[in-house]
Structure 1
Amino acid sequence: MIEIEIKAKIDDKNDALNKIKSLGASYSHSEEQEDIYFNAPDKDYRETDEALRIRLVPIDGEVKKILTYKGPKIDSKSKTRKEIEVEVADLDKMTDILIALGFKPSAIVSKVRRIFYYDEFTITLDKLEKIGYFMEIECMTNDEEDIEQTRDNIMELFKKMGITRGFERRSYLELLEL
């Protein structure tokens, strides 16, 4: 799958929530996410613009664990990249496998995420300690020919909400490492 994503820094959380609601997006749920990032034994993902993480999401007394690989960004205007995800049953065993293969835990990123849906788009409002609030709009596709049109559609949604600045291509991990 290809994840087409654009995010913007948000100054006012309540204003952003009102803009999402005025768009007609439907609220799904909120969740606390903890992402454990790993770096490869043979290359530095900061240099190759890749990411490997295990995301922990508490849901109904259980913790969902998702292993995700994100490839390098495909274009210069968004955070569009190949994304491969698989749910894992055992965090400790998955971590042990990665470490045995030479991967090293490199950072933890925690956030509170409010999730909304609008047509085929997922809109999130994220709160991260130290760096504040961000709105992300994303859409998944299997077809590389859809990237440019989908990216334009995402920018149109931002414009409809009056968000025309604050766009950020760096990941939360990169922003927190500054």
Structure 2
Amino acid sequence: MLCDPGDHFKGRYEVERKYRVETLEQIRADLASKGAVAFALGNQETDIFLDMPDRRLAGAGQQQVLRIMRPSGRVLWICKGPGADRCVAMDLDDPDKALEMLAALGFGEAGRLTKARDIYFLGDFHVTLDNLEGLGSFVEVAVMTDDAEKLANWTERVEAFALELGLETTSLENRSYRAIMASAQGR
């Protein structure tokens, strides 16, 4: 970790827009020129998707994800949904113990993906640069909030900031990485 995340990852809602890009280098240069602060660079993140055997979470538009980040050593338990903006996460110490506990509650692995990820902070936003082998490169612009009444305003601000970074609406990717991976695998 290169800086303190402050309030960047606090909130029950995440307003996020994901853009498919050819290369991450221009975005990296734009972030540097704007004075972005690096939070985590060079991480490899493994997301382990969990669901019940009947896939009830997927059917309800929800996800349980255990995210293991190396070399930062951070482990997150992430609950997304229902709804596109609902997101709650907490830090964990031991991914193996967390997986064991979740398995005891009936959860099983429903998929896994790995990505190379850099995270920057600029103003209210966190900007994530991702590369997923075989799927491509992506930029996520996001903000977290506890105020559901401000989601529409944050959506406008996130989209405006993405345009400032040169991210065009034509490159907007509305699918989750999990859905992109499933599509690439023909599922």
Q: What is the TM-score when the length of structure 2 is the normalising length?
A: 0.83
Task: Tell me the residue number matched to 1:77.
Answer: none
CA distance in 1, matches of 2:134, 2:113: 11
Q: For 1:80-132, what per-residue CA distance to the aligned partner results, in whole angstroms no more than 9, with x for missing partners? A: 42222222233222212211221110111111111111111100110111111
Task: Tell me the residue number matched to 2:173.
Answer: 168
Task: Tell me the residue number matched to 2:13.
Answer: 2
Query: Secondary structure of the equivalent of 2:131?
Result: strand
Match status 1:94 vs 2:104: no
Contact 1:113–1:127 (CA<8 Å) still a contact in 2?
yes
Unpaired runs of 5+ residues, structure 1, are 74-79
Task: Tell me the residue number matched to 1:76.
Answer: none
CA distance in 1, matches of 2:162, 2:152: 16
Task: Tell me the residue number matched to 2:151.
Answer: 147
Query: Secondary structure of the equivalent of 1:130?
Result: coil
The correspondence for 1:128, drawn from 123, 126, 132, is 132
Higher strand share: 1
Match status 1:29 vs 2:40: yes
Match status 1:40 vs 2:44: no
Match status 1:70 vs 2:80: yes
CA distance in 2, matches of 1:7, 1:23: 20
Contact 1:6–1:137 (CA<8 Å) still a contact in 2?
yes
Deviation at 1:12, TM superposition (A): 2.1
Q: What amino acid sits opposite 1:66 in the alignment?
A: L
The correspondence for 1:113, drawn from 111, 117, 125, is 117
Query: Secondary structure of the equivalent of 1:168?
Result: coil
Query: Secondary structure of the equivalent of 1:116?
Result: strand
Match status 1:177 vs 2:182: yes
Deviation at 1:42, TM superposition (A): 4.9
What CA RMSD, in Å, does the superposition of the two structures yield over aligned residues? 1.7
Distance 1:150 1:93, change over 3 A: same
Structure 1 residue ranges (4+ consecutive) displaced by more than 6 angstroms after TM superposition:
none
Q: What is the TM-score when the length of structure 1 is the normalising length?
A: 0.87
The correspondence for 1:81, drawn from 85, 107, 130, is 85
Contact 1:23–1:160 (CA<8 Å) still a contact in 2?
no
Q: For 1:39-87, what per-residue CA distance to the aligned partner results, in whole angstroms no more than 9, with x for missing partners? A: 1245433332211011111246xx32211111122xxxxxx42222222
CA distance in 2, matches of 1:103, 1:142: 27
| Percent pairwise identity | 25
Contact 2:44–2:71 (CA<8 Å) still a contact in 1?
no
Task: Tell me the residue number matched to 2:5.
Answer: none
Tell me how many residue pairs correspond in the alignment. 170
The correspondence for 2:25, drawn from 5, 14, 19, is 14
